[in-house]
Amino acid sequence: MKMRLTACSLLLVMNISLLRAADYRPAKVSFDDFKELVAAVEPHRAKRLVGLDEFLKMSREPNTIVLDSRSDFRYDRIHLKGARHLSFTDFTQENLEKVIPDFNTRILIYCNNNFDGNQTDFTSKVARRGSRLARNPIEAQMQAQAKPRMMALNIPTYVNLFGYGYENVYELAELVDVTDPRITLEGTVAKK
């Protein structure tokens, strides 16, 4: 009797587990789609990295916009003069169509990691691999020598724009000092 009850209990637990797995629908997330998109974007992006002079020249040409996808807070504080804004977290087909209605529009992008000299408003996105506490001196030395991982917003912005059908994208590849006379910054904290 006890053996039969245990077997019945096991079957009941297995059935409940199967029901729980079927109780939810999978999230609308596909890592495979992302990997395929990144593979298509990589060679495209490699040909569209431009220095500041070219970026600025292109920004003055017709059917071109400069897109800032940083947070609303960062954009409001300081951005390149004339840049249009759509926070990366708000990227949807509908929102992108409002800001960029024509798929042929040339889109120029930049992010915090393109600017130097103002770590408050253009905070570099970087993961320092030695940021956790070391357990011993050797581990501390290894961490100190580890190459940091750049986490710039440019790349996911580029990948997502391409994925939504905007393929006429160019990315600022230069590190620009915020006092560079070639640029004009505007926003609530920009020096007039």
List pLDDT tens digits, range 128-182.
765 566 677 777 777 777 777 778 899 999 999 999 999 999 999 999 999 999 9
Q: Kindly state whether residue 3 falls inside one of the protein's structural domains.
A: no
| Domain, as residue range, for 162 | 51-186
CB-CB contact of 126 with 151 (8 Å): yes
| Within-domain flag for 83 | yes
User: How would you class 91 by CB atoms within 10 Å of its CB: exposed for 0-12, middle for 13-18, buried for 19 or more?
Assistant: middle
pLDDT digits (tens, 9 = 90+) for 62-109: 999 999 999 999 999 999 999 999 999 999 999 999 999 999 999 999
Supply the CATH number for residue 103's domain.
Answer: 3.40.250.10
In-domain check, residue 31: no
User: Could you report the per-residue pLDDT of 8-64, keeping only the tens digit for each?
Assistant: 555 555 566 565 656 788 999 999 999 999 999 999 999 999 999 999 999 999 999
1 part of a folded domain? no
44-66 burial by CB neighbour count: b if 16+ within 10 A, else e?
ebeebebebeebbeebeeeeebb
**Residue 153 within any structural domain of the chain:** yes
Q: What is the total count of domains within the chain?
A: 1
**Nearest alpha-carbon partner for 69 in 52, 81, 84:** 84
Is residue 44 in some structural domain?
A: no
Residue 18 maps to a domain: no
